[in-house]
Amino acid sequence: MVKRKSRRAPSVAPLMELATSFWAFKTLAAALELELFSRLSSTRGTTPRELAALLGTAERPAEMLLTGCAALGLLGKSAGRYRNSRLAEEFLVPGRPYYFGGFVEMLDRRLYPGWAKLVEAIRTNRPTTWDPDRQASLFDGADPVMLAHFWEGMHSISSATGRVLASKVDLRRHRRLLDVGGGSGAYDIELCRRHRQLRATVYDLPHVVEIAARKAAEAGLASRIGTQAGDFFADAAYPAGHDVILLSMILHDWSEQDGRRILRKCWEALPDGGALIVCELLVNDAKTGPPPGALMSLNMLIETTGGRNYTAAEYTTWLRETGFRKVRKLRLDGPGADGALIATR
């Protein structure tokens, strides 16, 4: 009798890695809060004893923090001294052009507590980062310090994603871009840097376009990036005079009904031959992943009253039923979006 080979039991290691993934995040967040990377920027590095003296802590936790950051690739070590890695020096030192720390701070201070109540969000179908019974929207009555972290965080992730989009999308025949719900204008800055003929308008709430105007000025693009205050639900029509409209990480905030309303107004604002770009983390058509889109969708559960991340097939249906044609999908490798759908009016 031939013995059947027994199936090898799966390893628990992937579950261990998944279950402890927050350890890595909180190590990064703690290092940022303690200003570790700015303290080590452009220096000869530090030792556990020196860092302990600098932070006013015992040497034991200082050494643990340095070891943890080195293990995560955030620090390197040579001749007994810890120094910023290239990754940390480029993205985790305040003042750098593409500082990513704002997004990490927003995650730590706003989203981490909300995700701790994920079961509550699932059971109630309500956000956990704000109370819809007390606020009209996500931002009404919010702590201004928290809002500042939010917008800096969004600027960080949008700048990185905007660079990817700018390198992939062909805008040579377009001259005027309208960024609906454009936030800090990060996408517009990157698109205008790449496409010299392009001018952009950031269309968002009054207090938000003030941030966009400041960011555009800091980038030396105030003459090419303008702003227009408004409300893309309350306003009867979107600003005219643009031949391409961008919806960057916008539609996932809203229900399908609201998303279709936004697309209809975009269609009405564009001339014949104008283009619409929908830039998002996409869920695959089978709704089995990938993790970035699927988990961002859960993030919309704790952050919004009706939003989720959608599939390319869902967006394509909405676009075609709105009247758009020639819908095509562009793959991206950005932290805030892994795909863009481009449609023609």
Residues serving a catalytic function are: 252
Contact 181, 208 (CB under 8 A): no
Closest C-alpha to 188, from 229, 209, 205: 209
Helices (H) and strands (E) in the chain, counts: 15, 9
**Which residues contact residue 202 at a Cβ distance below 8 angstroms, ignoring those fewer than 6 apart?**
179, 182, 183, 185, 188, 209, 212, 213, 216, 225, 226, 227, 228
Closest C-alpha to 331, from 342, 318, 321, 340: 340
- Residue 2: C-alpha distances to residues 5, 229, 339 (Å): 9, 77, 51
Query: How many angstroms separate the CA atoms of 302 and 237, rounded?
Result: 30
* Two tokens, residue 169: 């999308």
Contact 230, 239 (CB under 8 A): yes
- Cα 79 to chain center, whole Å? 38
H or E stretch including 275? strand 275-280
Contact 290, 338 (CB under 8 A): yes
What's the N-to-C CA distance of the chain in angstroms? 70
* Two tokens, residue 19: 């279950």
Query: How many angstroms separate the CA atoms of 151 and 278, rounded?
Result: 20
Closest C-alpha to 199, from 227, 233, 237, 169: 227
Burial 197-206 (b: 16+ CB within 10 A, else e): ebbbbbbbee
